[in-house]
Structure 1
Amino acid sequence: MITWQFIVTAFVVVIAPGTGVIYTLAMGLGRGRIASLAAAVGCTFGIVPHLLAATLGLAAVLHTSALLFNVVKFAGVAYLLWMAWGALRQTGALAVKPAEQVSDPLWRVAWRGTLINVLNPKLSIFFLALLPPFLSGDPARATLEMALLGAVFMAMTFAVFAVYGVFAGTCRAWILSPERAMAWLNRSFAAVFAALAGRLALERA
């Protein structure tokens, strides 16, 4: 069940840059290492609803219901665009600011990370496709095995995201001094999240 093939597959999926990785990096650069860890925790917990959906078979319903899929998808698109707009205005969650201007509590940083993953309907379908090939084939153990595989995936997600975030937080001191660098970073994060919103909008059930 938990084979080296699963570990390698999950690791490749986790390290691939996506919305969660970009958000964690943004928090590391914009708020520091502690905030990046909060972002990693939030993104990891955002996986839970999708894992439950896949385990209970609800992902299949999401996959076959175009209306339900699109409702969740465009809610995610709107949220990503809102975050991109905030970064562009240098007032939102992704805005890169000097330390003395940072006021967001850590729970809010984590909550945003949770929402980013919760509002990505592709995660449910992803788990439905990724986990079954690594099951033992025993129907009586399928739910337990999927939960265990999902827990390993979540642990790996947090570990990799934490490394990304701490690295970004360490680099923060080197790039936050010039005002021009902060403006460039904010525009970059805005562009990346707008692009991710566009990609999500084009996803099909």
Structure 2
Amino acid sequence: MITDVEWATFVPSALLLATTPGANQLLTLRNGLRHGMTRAVSACLGRFSAFALMVIAVAAGIGAVLATSAVAFNVIKWCGVASLLWLGARTVLAAVRGQGAAEDRKTADEGDGEKARGGLSSWRLGRQEFLVAATNPKALILFTVFLPQFLPPGAKDAAVLLLVLGAAYIGIEFGCAFAYAALGSRLRSMGITRRSRRWLDALTGVAMLGLAGWLATDSR
């Protein structure tokens, strides 16, 4: 059953999709630069929690409802726009005000280990990843359209296969997120300038604002 899935086309397609820089990947890169490898990778669990819920929704048929219901789509859409605007504006303002400098000193004092305050920081980073992923209705529709393309014709256990494909995609995206976190951590160890960090913060915030604008102006 699983061997009937078109893995030869699914894997490279999923890899291309996962490696494309987006709001979540830029956020992971920023987290790796600001907080180190451990926190950046652990924060990704927020994103993949959102993706797992989406895959389950698609397997249960909820994704198709969202794709066909204008009301459901618009409710989630405007919640996503508001969330992305808030996160994007906060990130850009932090870059403009140079608040990352204080954040860097705090991280250096705490180290990369999961200490008392470090655990709270990791939770906040994970929450950001979750919000960016979960409040994008296009992501759910993407799973609805993307995953079924690789099912064998006339598959009887389509729901199970969709769960398998979803898990495989999450695994591939995790590998890409790990690479983004490693790149950020590497730049951090190289002593990248504070100005460059602020530029990366600004780029991440602008990417979120851009995604918010795209969602706001796109009808489907």
Task: Give the TM interval when normalised to the shorter protein.
Answer: 0.7 to 0.9
Q: TM-score, normalised by structure 1?
A: 0.88
Residue identity opposite 2:126 in structure 1: A
Q: Give the aligned partner of residue 86 of structure 1.
A: 90
Equivalent of 2:105 in 94, 100, 108: 100
Deviation at 1:193, TM superposition (A): 1.8
Residue identity opposite 1:62 in structure 2: L
Alignment root-mean-square deviation, CA = 2.1
Q: Give the aligned partner of residue 15 of structure 2.
A: 11
Deviation at 1:175, TM superposition (A): 5.1
Q: TM-score, normalised by structure 2?
A: 0.82
Per-residue CA distance 1:21-49 (angstroms, 9 max, x = gap): 11111211222212210232221221012
Kindly report which structure 2 residues correspond to 1:52-71, keeping only aligned pairs within 5 A, or say none.
Answer: 52-71=56-75
Q: Give me the whole-angstrom Cα distance separating, in 2, the residues matched to 1:175 and 1:81.
A: 30
Kindly report which structure 2 residues correspond to 1:40-189, keeping only aligned pairs within 5 A, or say none.
Answer: 40-90=44-94, 96-97=100-101, 98-102=103-107, 104-174=120-190, 176-178=192-194, 180-189=195-204
- Structure 1's consecutive aligned runs of 4 or more residues displaced over 6 angstroms after TM superposition are none
Q: Do the aligned partners of residues 199 and 174 (structure 1) sit closer, same or farther apart at CA in structure 2, a change above 3 Å counting?
A: farther
Specify which structure has the higher proportion of helix: 2
Q: Do the aligned partners of residues 45 and 135 (structure 1) sit closer, same or farther apart at CA in structure 2, a change above 3 Å counting?
A: same
Counting matched residue pairs gives 201
Native 8 Å contact 1:51 1:150 kept in 2: yes
Q: Give the aligned partner of residue 194 of structure 1.
A: 209
Q: Give the aligned partner of residue 112 of structure 2.
A: none
Q: Do the aligned partners of residues 50 and 204 (structure 1) sit closer, same or farther apart at CA in structure 2, a change above 3 Å counting?
A: farther
Q: Which runs of 5+ in 2 are unaligned?
A: 108-117
Residue identity opposite 1:113 in structure 2: E
More relative contact order, 1 or 2 (CA 8 Å, 6+ apart): 2
Q: Give me the whole-angstrom Cα distance separating, in 2, the residues matched to 1:155 and 1:149.
A: 10
